[in-house]
Each structure stands twice: as C-alpha cells, then as structure tokens.
Amino acid sequence: MPFEEEGGGTEVIPPSFEYVAPKTIPEAVSLLEKFGQNSKILAGGQSLIPVMKLRLASPTHLIDINRIDGLTYIKEGDGFLKIGALTRVSEIESSDLIKKKYFLLHDAAKEIADPTVRNLGTVGGNISHADPANDLPATMLASDAILVATGPKGQRTINAKDFFLDTFTTALTHEEILTEIRLPAYTPGTGSAYLKLEKRVGDFAIVGVAVQISLDKNGKVLRSGIGLTSVGPTAVKSTRAEEQLVGKKLTDETISRAAALASEDSNPTSDLRGPADYKKKMVRVLTTRALKKAYVRIVGGGEREE
Ligand SMILES: Cc1cc2nc3c(=O)[nH]c(=O)nc-3n(C[C@H](O)[C@H](O)[C@H](O)COP(=O)(O)OP(=O)(O)OC[C@H]3O[C@@H](n4cnc5c(N)ncnc54)[C@H](O)[C@@H]3O)c2cc1C
C-alpha cells in the first residue's frame, strides 16, 4: 500500500514508502532479506516516523511487526525476567512484577517522554534505535541484559555491553529483529535506581544514570552495574566505577570514588542541554544519588520506598 507524499515535499511529511505487515517472525525476516538495506522495521513508530519526517531516513519499505503474535509479554523464567520486544513502555510502567522487583526498569519507563509516546513506543524499539539519549539502553548496560536477535539463521543472544556500537548503530544485522530482552532475575540483596536530569518533564535526558547493585550477607558488593544516558555517542557502561565497588561496602567514600570514575568515563558534548563539563559534574551527582537510592531499596527489604 503506497503512502504518497502530499503538498510538494515539505519536511514534515515522510517520503513515500511501501508498507507491509507480516504475521510471523520468519515472514518479517524474509521481508528484511528481500528488501535489503532500504527496508526498516516499524514498531511503535515514535522514533522512526519523526526521523523519516525530518528526511534523516528514507526507507522504501516499512515492515510493521505489530501484527506478529507472541512478541508482547513480561514474565520470569529460567533465571531471567523476559520481555517481548513489542511490549509497550507503558506496560513496563504498569507491571506489578516490574514495579515490585525491577526498580531500575520501572524508574526509567516512568521517565520516558509522555503517556502517548509510552503507550506506543516499544521496549525493543527504544533499545534498537540506539539513541544515546534514550533511557532504556543505560538500564540494559547496568543490569547486564541479554538481547535476543532472530534472523535468517535463527536466534542468537547478544550481551548488552556488545550491543550498542555507535549512535543509532547496534550489533543487529539488517536481517535481524530484536525479539526478546532478558534481564537477570531479581535476587534478594539487589537494589537499583534510574535518575534522570531533564530540562522539562518528558524531555530527553541532559544526563541519566542507571545503577544496579547486589550485596552479600556482609553488606559487601557482589555485583555492580552502572550505565549512563546522553553522555557519549552510545549509552556508556562505566566499567571502572562498577569494578571499583565490587568486594567493598557502600560507604560515602566508595560511592564518591565510583561516582568520580563514572564521571571520568562519560564523554558528553556541549549542546542546547548544557555544557560538557556541567554534564560530567551531573554524572557524578546522579551516580552518587542513584547508588544511595539503590542501597536504601536493599536495606528497606527490596520493596519500593514510595
Ligand atoms: C516527543 C518524543 C519524546 C521522546 N522522549 C523520549 C525520552 O525521554 N526517553 C526515551 O528513551 N525515548 C524517548 N522518545 C523515543 C521513544 O521512546 C521511542 O518510542 C523509542 O525510541 C523507539 O521505540 P518505537 O517502538 O517507537 O520504535 P520505532 O520508532 O518503530 O523504531 C525505531 C528504530 O528501531 C528499529 N526497531 C524497532 N523495533 C525493532 C526490533 N524489535 N528489532 C530491530 N529493530 C527495531 C526501527 O527499524 C527503527 O530504526 C521520545 C519520542 C518522542 C516522539
């Protein structure tokens, strides 16, 4: 079904494209193979359509995956929280399971844009778009998520740390679809938080910080994950800050050292949202706060304090 451009090519109208709506994943994969680099998957359309309206992308074919059954779910199993790629951000926000145990994801989902965008935008789309200003990529890095890609050769898994290659570029091949997001299942002693600084409610982040920590019985850090939003060409995993915390108790000193390393690992640019050195300082501030918030959530018994 062709969508014809009207009004002589104004930049608010996307260029013409063919629209196809497969009903199965194999069908979608073969359409991606058939139409090649000029085709794009359409999920919630909340990033792709604006990009097309600005003529930053002009795909000849849109492959709408919304009619494919079985890509929308939130469930625990096999040691993971599993999320179908077509799950809407609003479903993350309203899920009792996520609200109760997966604070990081719940915090971030609530902060994304506005209710309309959250109702349409998908978890898979937010991650696959690989915009460093999107909120979910940093949460994937902090929680060491595993991303399941389905392509012509079947399924493969990609660790979040290997997924975000560059701005708008992921490890997915053109013929692959992100079908499932797997987060290590919640274990007692784990706490997490996402903090976002924005110019106004619903805006993209000036800076965002995702943290997840697990403590042992003696209160020492078993595992820590720190992901940063909007401070580099991709979401940033601050490995040095993570490693610095492992084996230690969370104290003002260890938190401050980790926050300083996270700030050093960030690489923001100056833009309309603020100068680079301000953003680096805010990484430090938000990492400190997020680590303290995650800790309070652990000692509070793992339940949300709100
Ligand atoms: C006004 C506005 C404000 C916003 N503010 C924020 C914000 O504060 N924080 C934030 O995180 N985001 C924000 N967004 C972006 C929003 O969250 C998008 O929904 C999200 O980036 C893309 O998800 P989508 O499902 O809409 O994907 P689409 O727009 O349909 O697709 C985006 C890209 O991902 C690809 N893609 C989609 N799904 C898959 C898949 N399963 N496998 C492989 N490739 C896929 C598409 O081909 C396309 O290239 C905002 C958007 C708008 C319009």
- Confidence at residue 9, expressed as pLDDT on a 0 to 100 scale: 44
Pairing of β 236-237 and β 205-215:
unpaired
Give the DSSP letter of residue 219. Answer: S
Place of tokens 């139409």: 35
Task: Give the CA angle between residues 38, 40, 42 to the nearest 5°.
Answer: 155
CA of residue 295 to ligand 1 center, whole Å: 31
- Which of 119, 126, 139, 168 best tests ligand 1's pocket when mutated (most atoms within 8 Å of CB)? 126
- Confidence at residue 3, expressed as pLDDT on a 0 to 100 scale: 40
- Confidence at residue 1, expressed as pLDDT on a 0 to 100 scale: 36
- Confidence at residue 4, expressed as pLDDT on a 0 to 100 scale: 43
- The DSSP secondary structure of 74-136, one letter per residue, reads EEEETTEEEEETT-BHHHHHH-HHHHHH-HHHHHHHHHSS-HHHHHH-BHHHHHHT--TT-SH
User: Does domain 190-297 bear CATH number 3.30.390.50?
Assistant: yes
Structural domain boundaries in the chain:
2-64, 74-184, 190-297
- Which of 56, 68, 112, 169 best tests ligand 1's pocket when mutated (most atoms within 8 Å of CB)? 112
Q: What is the pLDDT of residues 77-136, one digit of tens each?
A: 999 999 999 999 999 999 999 999 999 999 999 999 999 999 999 999 999 999 999 999
- Confidence at residue 213, expressed as pLDDT on a 0 to 100 scale: 98
Q: What is the mean pLDDT of residues 28-36?
A: 97
CB 263 near ligand 1, within 6 Å? no
**Rounded Cα gap, residues 103 and 106, in angstroms:** 5
CB 42 near ligand 1, within 6 Å? yes
Q: What is the pLDDT of residues 151-209, one digit of tens each?
A: 999 999 999 999 999 999 999 999 999 999 999 999 999 999 999 999 999 999 999 99
**Rounded Cα gap, residues 56 and 50, in angstroms:** 9
**Rounded Cα gap, residues 274 and 182, in angstroms:** 34
User: Measuring CA to CA, which residue among 119, 121, 162, 116 is closest to residue 141?
Assistant: 162
- Confidence at residue 301, expressed as pLDDT on a 0 to 100 scale: 61
Place of tokens 């820590």: 224
CA of residue 44 to ligand 1 center, whole Å: 7
CATH class, 2-64 region: alpha beta
CATH class, 74-184 region: alpha beta
Mean pLDDT of the chain: 94
Nearest atom (ligand 1) to Cα of 85: 41
Q: What is the pLDDT of residues 276-299, one digit of tens each?
A: 999 999 999 999 999 999 999 999
CA of residue 215 to ligand 1 center, whole Å: 34
